Amino acid sequence: MAVRGVPLRAALMGAAAVGAGLAIAAPEVFRIVRPGLKTALKAGLAGAAAARAAALHVGEQIEDLMAEVAHELSEDVAMADSVEASAGLATPSADKAPE
Protein backbone atom coordinates (compact mmCIF):
# COMPACT_ATOMS: atom_id res chain seq x y z
CA MET A 1 0.00 0.00 0.00
CA ALA A 2 1.24 3.52 -0.75
CA VAL A 3 0.38 7.01 0.43
CA ARG A 4 0.71 9.53 -2.43
CA GLY A 5 3.21 7.30 -4.15
CA VAL A 6 5.28 6.73 -1.00
CA PRO A 7 5.27 3.22 0.46
CA LEU A 8 3.33 3.01 3.74
CA ARG A 9 6.34 1.86 5.75
CA ALA A 10 8.38 4.86 4.57
CA ALA A 11 5.51 7.24 5.31
CA LEU A 12 5.13 5.88 8.85
CA MET A 13 8.89 6.07 9.45
CA GLY A 14 8.90 9.68 8.24
CA ALA A 15 5.94 10.58 10.47
CA ALA A 16 7.60 8.89 13.44
CA ALA A 17 10.81 10.81 12.80
CA VAL A 18 8.95 14.13 12.59
CA GLY A 19 7.01 13.30 15.78
CA ALA A 20 10.20 12.38 17.64
CA GLY A 21 11.89 15.54 16.43
CA LEU A 22 8.98 17.66 17.63
CA ALA A 23 8.96 15.92 21.00
CA ILE A 24 12.63 16.70 21.42
CA ALA A 25 12.46 20.25 20.04
CA ALA A 26 9.15 21.34 21.62
CA PRO A 27 10.55 22.26 25.06
CA GLU A 28 13.29 24.37 23.46
CA VAL A 29 10.83 26.06 21.08
CA PHE A 30 8.47 26.75 23.98
CA ARG A 31 11.32 28.24 26.03
CA ILE A 32 12.08 30.61 23.15
CA VAL A 33 8.46 31.50 22.36
CA ARG A 34 7.28 31.80 26.01
CA PRO A 35 8.15 35.51 26.55
CA GLY A 36 6.24 36.53 23.43
CA LEU A 37 3.24 34.42 24.43
CA LYS A 38 3.33 35.93 27.91
CA THR A 39 3.36 39.47 26.48
CA ALA A 40 0.47 38.63 24.15
CA LEU A 41 -1.57 37.19 27.04
CA LYS A 42 -0.92 40.28 29.17
CA ALA A 43 -2.05 42.54 26.33
CA GLY A 44 -5.16 40.41 25.79
CA LEU A 45 -6.11 40.50 29.46
CA ALA A 46 -5.53 44.26 29.64
CA GLY A 47 -7.66 44.75 26.55
CA ALA A 48 -10.44 42.61 28.01
CA ALA A 49 -10.39 44.64 31.23
CA ALA A 50 -10.55 47.89 29.27
CA ALA A 51 -13.43 46.60 27.17
CA ARG A 52 -15.29 45.50 30.31
CA ALA A 53 -14.82 48.95 31.88
CA ALA A 54 -16.00 50.67 28.70
CA ALA A 55 -19.07 48.43 28.52
CA LEU A 56 -19.95 49.24 32.14
CA HIS A 57 -19.60 52.96 31.44
CA VAL A 58 -21.84 52.74 28.38
CA GLY A 59 -24.39 50.76 30.42
CA GLU A 60 -24.46 53.47 33.08
CA GLN A 61 -24.93 56.16 30.44
CA ILE A 62 -27.85 54.24 28.91
CA GLU A 63 -29.46 53.80 32.33
CA ASP A 64 -29.16 57.54 32.99
CA LEU A 65 -30.65 58.34 29.59
CA MET A 66 -33.58 55.96 30.15
CA ALA A 67 -34.27 57.53 33.55
CA GLU A 68 -34.26 61.02 32.01
CA VAL A 69 -36.65 59.96 29.24
CA ALA A 70 -39.01 58.27 31.73
CA HIS A 71 -39.02 61.41 33.89
CA GLU A 72 -39.71 63.65 30.89
CA LEU A 73 -42.53 61.37 29.74
CA SER A 74 -44.15 61.47 33.19
CA GLU A 75 -43.88 65.27 33.16
CA ASP A 76 -45.48 65.38 29.69
CA VAL A 77 -48.34 63.15 30.82
CA ALA A 78 -48.89 65.25 33.94
CA MET A 79 -48.90 68.44 31.88
CA ALA A 80 -51.36 66.97 29.37
CA ASP A 81 -53.65 65.88 32.21
CA SER A 82 -53.58 69.35 33.77
CA VAL A 83 -54.31 70.99 30.41
CA GLU A 84 -57.25 68.65 29.83
CA ALA A 85 -58.56 69.26 33.35
CA SER A 86 -58.34 73.03 33.01
CA ALA A 87 -60.11 72.91 29.64
CA GLY A 88 -62.84 70.67 31.01
CA LEU A 89 -61.86 67.85 28.67
CA ALA A 90 -60.88 65.37 31.35
CA THR A 91 -62.91 62.21 31.38
CA PRO A 92 -63.91 60.71 34.70
CA SER A 93 -61.46 58.08 35.85
CA ALA A 94 -62.51 54.46 36.18
CA ASP A 95 -62.22 54.41 39.97
CA LYS A 96 -64.59 57.39 40.48
CA ALA A 97 -68.29 56.92 40.01
CA PRO A 98 -70.02 59.62 37.96
CA GLU A 99 -72.16 61.92 40.08
Domain that holds residue 53: 6-86
Cβ atoms 60, 68 nearer than 8 A: no
Q: Flag whether the pTM goes above 0.75.
A: no
Residue 61 CB contacts under 8 Å (≥ 6 apart), including other chains: none
Residue 82 maps to a domain: yes
Q: Is the pLDDT of residue 89 over 70?
A: no
Residue 94 maps to a domain: no
Give the residue-averaged pLDDT of 27-52. Answer: 92
Top pLDDT among 33 and 93 is at 33
Cβ atoms 11, 3 nearer than 8 A: yes
Top pLDDT among 20 and 86 is at 20
Residue 49 maps to a domain: yes
Give me the number of domains the chain comprises: 1
3-state secondary structure of 44: helix
